[in-house]
A and B are shown apart, each in its own frame.
Chain A
């Protein structure tokens, strides 16, 4: 517990450093945030265009799908702010050989890696997502009770646990393969399965998305919670998120044992 607290302090310290770095190139940061806001509008615009010019897809109307997009932006913003720098950080230290120094520190190396991901630049999607979400909750006159709020918050927390597991897997692959470009692109493309309502996929894939690869936790469950579409699969998905994180840590430990440093 004490170690976790210290890692949290390290995360706060790293976050302050990132904010200072962002302020070094202030113009670039402000412009980057504005662009982040603009870029995050693409998803809702895309869905708006699809839904206004077709009947859309089953089970969702225009307002519901924009709310879905708002939640997608919000959760992506949280993930991006807490872990956005992680892929660059871990790739950089492994390639330069600096990862070896992490092994000498009194904390778990994966703990240090997970505490080094803060990225202020991702505040754009977080803000725009929060705005869209609140706006559509009010516009749709959704009745949200304690249960819905609790499930929404739990989905965010378990979503972060799942994402940590995903980042641990990414880091494991990086220390194993060392020099492979665009790995983050490959990993991000897999994450896209979680960015659509799961009912567009086949039954088998739907089952997978709430169990073994529980990506439904990021957007589908929070959206269904707000739309009051709760079902028995939600706790199952939460359990699988924790399991995913546990398994990814096991994989990390296995890969770490075989780590031979960038020099071979």
Chain B
């Protein structure tokens, strides 16, 4: 645990050197926010309605901003990172560290999210709120969001690591990483609220992990969870934990098998 915490501290210092790269979201998001305000103002006015699929105007605009807010918590580049370290041969030296590759990359992902929350999420919330105030947000919904977002981070990390392991077979896994992005965008509700999709499709999406990485954290953030908030929190959190356990077990089994066949660059 001590080594793990030291790696987090070390990676935090490294990540913080790139603080302006993280903070670039603060310039990108207001632009997208203005575009979405124009787009949805046009749609809501033309449809002469205050609610579409249960989303008020502010919630609909914030849905797309919330997607980036969620990414501050859950994003990682592990899938490509594993591929790059295999192609460059760095994985061979990573295996010699006093900490496993899984834990080392987890520490790296945690520290990068700390930086993202500090320089991206916190100032971002202030700036975006000045452009369009999130009147729907309450302390209760925000705290629920934080719990679900932390679990979503773990789930996304494990999923990314599992996909990253494909590089042990195909070396360059950029395309697999892109598949994940497409699925996350469509199935996870990154491009449009899932309420716009047919019910039968949503039932299928319920059986996949993507909703629990993107869609549900957004729902808690937008304070759109129906019924008892605590009950929903426990239900969604439990499903996330189930996925986390399942991915962890699969990773442990596959890693042991694949690492035996792993041949570093140079033989």
- A and B physically associate: yes
Using a CB–CB cutoff of 8 Å, the interface residues on chain A facing chain B are 25, 27-29, 31-32, 35-36, 38-39, 42, 45-46, 49-50, 53-58, 180-183, 185-186, 189-190, 192-193, 196, 199-202, 205
Report the Cα distance A96→B21, complex, angstroms.
Answer: 18
Q: Which of B24, B170, B171, B196 contacts A49 (CB 8 A)?
A: B196
The 6 listed contacts between A and B (C-beta, < 8 Å) are A36-B178, A182-B24, A186-B27, A193-B35, A196-B38, A205-B38
Using a CB–CB cutoff of 8 Å, the interface residues on chain B facing chain A are 18, 20-21, 24-25, 27-28, 31-32, 35, 38-39, 41-43, 46-47, 52-53, 170-176, 178-179, 181-182, 185-186, 191-192, 196-197
Instruction: Name the residue on B nearest A205 (C-beta).
Output: B38
Report the Cα distance A105→B125, complex, angstroms.
Answer: 48
Contact B192 A49 (CB under 8 A): yes
Contact B175 A35 (CB under 8 A): yes
Given contacts A180-B20, A192-B32, contact A53 B42 (CB under 8 A): no
A-B contact count (CB 8 A): 92
Report the Cα distance A49→B52, complex, angstroms.
Answer: 12
Instruction: Name the residue on B nearest A191 (C-beta).
Output: B31
Q: Which of A39, A42, A185 contacts B24 (CB 8 A)?
A: A185
Q: Which of B20, B171, B178 contacts A35 (CB 8 A)?
A: B178
Contact A57 B42 (CB under 8 A): yes
Contact B46 A56 (CB under 8 A): yes
Contact A28 B170 (CB under 8 A): yes
Report the Cα distance A186→B47, complex, angstroms.
Answer: 32
The dominant DSSP class at the A interface is helix
Contact A35 B28 (CB under 8 A): no
Q: How far is the CB of A24 from chain B (nearest CB, A)?
A: 9
Report the Cα distance A190→B28, complex, angstroms.
Answer: 8
Report the Cα distance A142→B123, complex, angstroms.
Answer: 49
Q: A186-B27, A186-B31, A202-B38 given. 18 additional CB < 8 A pairs?
A: A29-B175, A32-B175, A42-B186, A45-B186, A49-B196, A50-B192, A54-B43, A54-B52, A55-B47, A182-B21, A182-B28, A185-B24, A189-B32, A192-B31, A192-B32, A196-B35, A200-B38, A200-B41
The residues of A that contact B182 with a CB separation of less than 8 Å are 35, 38-39, 42
Given contacts A57-B43, A57-B46, A193-B35, contact A181 B179 (CB under 8 A): no
| Listed residue (B18, B25, B31) with the most chain A CB atoms within 10 angstroms of its CB | B31
Given contacts A32-B178, A39-B182, A182-B24, contact A201 B38 (CB under 8 A): yes
Contact A181 B20 (CB under 8 A): yes
Contact A183 B24 (CB under 8 A): yes
Report the Cα distance A36→B182, complex, angstroms.
Answer: 9
Given contacts A32-B174, A42-B191, contact A200 B196 (CB under 8 A): no
Report the Cα distance A56→B46, complex, angstroms.
Answer: 7
The residues of A that contact B170 with a CB separation of less than 8 Å are 27-28
The dominant DSSP class at the B interface is helix
Contact B24 A28 (CB under 8 A): no
Report the Cα distance A239→B183, complex, angstroms.
Answer: 41
The residues of B that contact A180 with a CB separation of less than 8 Å are 20-21, 24
The residues of A that contact B18 with a CB separation of less than 8 Å are 181
Q: How far is the CB of B214 from chain A (nearest CB, A)?
A: 14
Report the Cα distance A35→B182, complex, angstroms.
Answer: 8
The 9 A-B pairs at the shortest CB distance, nearest first, are namely A181-B21, A31-B175, A182-B24, A200-B42, A49-B196, A32-B175, A35-B178, A189-B28, A25-B172
The residues of B that contact A182 with a CB separation of less than 8 Å are 21, 24-25, 28
Contact A185 B28 (CB under 8 A): yes
Instruction: Name the residue on B nearest A58 (C-beta).
Output: B46
Instruction: Name the residue on B nearest A24 (C-beta).
Output: B172
Report the Cα distance A151→B41, complex, angstroms.
Answer: 31
Report the Cα distance A32→B186, complex, angstroms.
Answer: 17
Instruction: Name the residue on A nearest B83 (C-beta).
Output: A28
Q: How far is the CB of B46 from chain A (nearest CB, A)?
A: 5
The residues of B that contact A46 with a CB separation of less than 8 Å are 191-192
Instruction: Name the residue on A nearest B170 (C-beta).
Output: A27
Report the Cα distance A205→B37, complex, angstroms.
Answer: 13
Contact A39 B178 (CB under 8 A): yes
Report the Cα distance A46→B197, complex, angstroms.
Answer: 10
Contact B28 A53 (CB under 8 A): no
Contact B171 A25 (CB under 8 A): yes
Report the Cα distance A68→B232, complex, angstroms.
Answer: 40
Q: Which of A36, A42, A49, A185 contacts B197 (CB 8 A)?
A: A49
Instruction: Name the residue on A nearest B196 (C-beta).
Output: A49
Contact A56 B43 (CB under 8 A): yes
The residues of B that contact A201 with a CB separation of less than 8 Å are 38
Contact B192 A186 (CB under 8 A): no
